[in-house]
A and B are shown apart, each in its own frame.
Chain A
Amino acid sequence: MENQLATFLGYSPLILIGSTIAAFILFKANQLKPVGSDSQSESSDHPTPKLYVQIAAVLLAITVLEVVIVIVEMPTMLLIPSLLILSTIKFGFVIGYYMHLKFDHKLFSTMFLGGLFLAIGVMVALIGLFGNFTLPSDVVEAESKSDEHHELHVDTPLRTLLGLNGSKDGDNEGSVSSTEKIVLEVASGISGVEFAFEPGTITGNHGEIVEIRFDNQGTIAHDFAIPDLDFSVSTTNANEIGKAVLTLPQTAGTYEFICSIPGHKEAGMTGQLIVN
C-alpha cells in the first residue's frame, strides 16, 4: 500500500503541472475574440457562429493529436497526462462556449462543476481503494495468458492508469517462463499443523532473482510476506499455490518471513530467509 501511495504521490507533480497548463490554455482561450462581426450579435463578446466553427476546428485538431500520440505509442508516462490535458481542453471548450457556461450566471457553473468534481473525487477514491484488491484463488491458478497479467504483484488500476505496470520486484511479463529462475518453495499446513511454515528457513544468494512458491496445504487462507523487504505473495486460499518474484537484496542478511494475516504470525507462522 505504501508502494502505491508513494507512486501516486510521485506522479502528482506531473498531474499538477498538466492541469496548470490546461487551465492556462483555457484561460487564454477565454480571451479569444470572435473573428469578424455578425450583425446579429447583441454584444461584442457573445459567441458568433464563426467562433463556434473555429472552436469545432480546434476540437477536431485536438482529437487528431490525441489519436496520433496514441498510435505513435508515446511513452506511457507522457502519454497519459497528455491525453488527460488534451481532453480537459476539449471538455472546457464545449462547456464554456457551446454550453455557454462562460457567459452565464456563475451559479450554473457552480452546480455543474460541483457535481463534476464530486464525481471525479468518488472515481479517484474508488481507484485508490481498489489498490487493495486481491484476486480469488482460481484466478491465480488460471491459464498462462492471465498469469502474465495477474499472477504476480497485483496491477492496481491506479498504477495502470499512471502507466506503471509491474511491481517493485521486477517486470511481470515473461518472468514466469524464465528458465533461469530459482524457485524457493515454502508450504504451510503440513501434517495438519495449520499455523506453521515448512521449511522454517529458506536460503538464497544476494542479488538473485528468485520465485517464491507458497503452497497452502492448510484449511484456511494464508499469505507469505517478508516485511523488511516490502514483499508479499498475495493471499492464497487453502489448497492453492501463490507465486511471486523477489529480487534478493545485494547485502547478505537474515530476514523474517511471516503470514501477515492478523494473529497468524503470533500463532507460529514465521520463518527466516537467509541471504548469503
Chain B
Amino acid sequence: MHEEHVGHTTTTGLDNRKMLMWVFLASDCLFFGSLIATYMVMRSQSVVGPYPGDIFDIPYTSVSAFVLLMSSLTMVLSLSALQRGNHKATRIWLLATAVLGSIFLGGQYYEFTVFVAEGLSLDQNIFGTTFFVLTGFHGTHVAIGVMMLLSMYGASAMGKLPTSSSLNLELVGLYWHFVDIVWIVIFTIVYLIPS
C-alpha cells in the first residue's frame, strides 16, 4: 500500500528497516511476555501487604490509559500529515504525542510515589517487586519513545524530515503504538482483573 521508494530492491519488495522493526517488535513481545508471566505467576502470592486491591486507584490509572491511547491517535495523525506533505501539522501532532507521552510518564511517577507512601516498595513484597519492575520497564520504553519523538520533531524543524523519509517517522510510530498496546495488556491484567 504505502511502499516507500527503496534504495535497493529487496526480495519481498518490503523495506529492510520496516522489516527489522517488526522483527524487533516480535522479540519485544517475548520480553514483555516474560515480565507479565512473572507478574501473573506471583499474583496472589504476596505474604504481606499492601495488596493490589488495597492500593490501585482504577479511575486514576484509567485516565493515564486514556492519555496513552490518545497519544497513539496523535502519532498516526502526525504520520498521516507527513505523508500528505503537511510539515507543520506533522510537528504539531508529533509534539502532542510527546506531550501526552510525558503526561503518561508523569502520571506513572506520581502513582508510584503514592504507592510508595502507602507502603508498597520494590522489596516490600512480591507484588511490589513484580509490579514496579514490569511497569518500570514499560515506562522506560515510553521514555525512550518520547526521546525519539522529540528527535523527529527536531529533525522536522530543521527541514530534515521530508515526505520521502516518512518511513523514519513510520518506524517511530510502530514502536510507539507497540508501547501503547503493551500498556493495554498491562492495564487489563495488572489493574483491572481482580486478584
Residue ranges of A at the interface with B (Cβ–Cβ < 8 Å): 40, 42-43, 46, 48-49, 52-53, 55-56, 59-60, 63-64, 66-67, 70-71, 76, 79-80, 83-84, 86-87, 90-91, 94-95, 97-100, 103-105, 107-108, 111-112, 114-116, 118-120, 122-123, 126-127, 130, 133, 135, 139, 142-143, 145-146, 149-150, 155, 157, 160-161
Contacts and interface: CB of A to CB of B under 8 A. Distances in A.
B80 interface: yes
Given A99-B178, A157-B43, A59 B69 contact: yes
B96 interface: no
Interface in B50-72: 58-59, 62, 65-66, 69-70, 72
A71 B58 contact: yes
Contacts of B42: 157
Given A63-B69, A149-B44, A157-B44, A115 B25 contact: yes
Contact of B66 (A60, A84, A104, A160): A60
Contact of A119 (B22, B33, B45, B76): B33
A115 B32 CA distance: 11
A52 B80 contact: yes
A108 B30 contact: no
B48 A146 contact: yes
A157 B59 contact: no
28 contacts: A46-B1, A46-B2, A52-B77, A59-B69, A60-B69, A63-B65, A76-B194, A83-B193, A87-B185, A87-B188, A90-B69, A90-B184, A94-B180, A94-B181, A97-B76, A98-B73, A100-B2, A103-B1, A103-B2, A112-B26, A119-B30, A122-B34, A126-B37, A145-B48, A146-B47, A150-B47, A155-B44, A161-B43
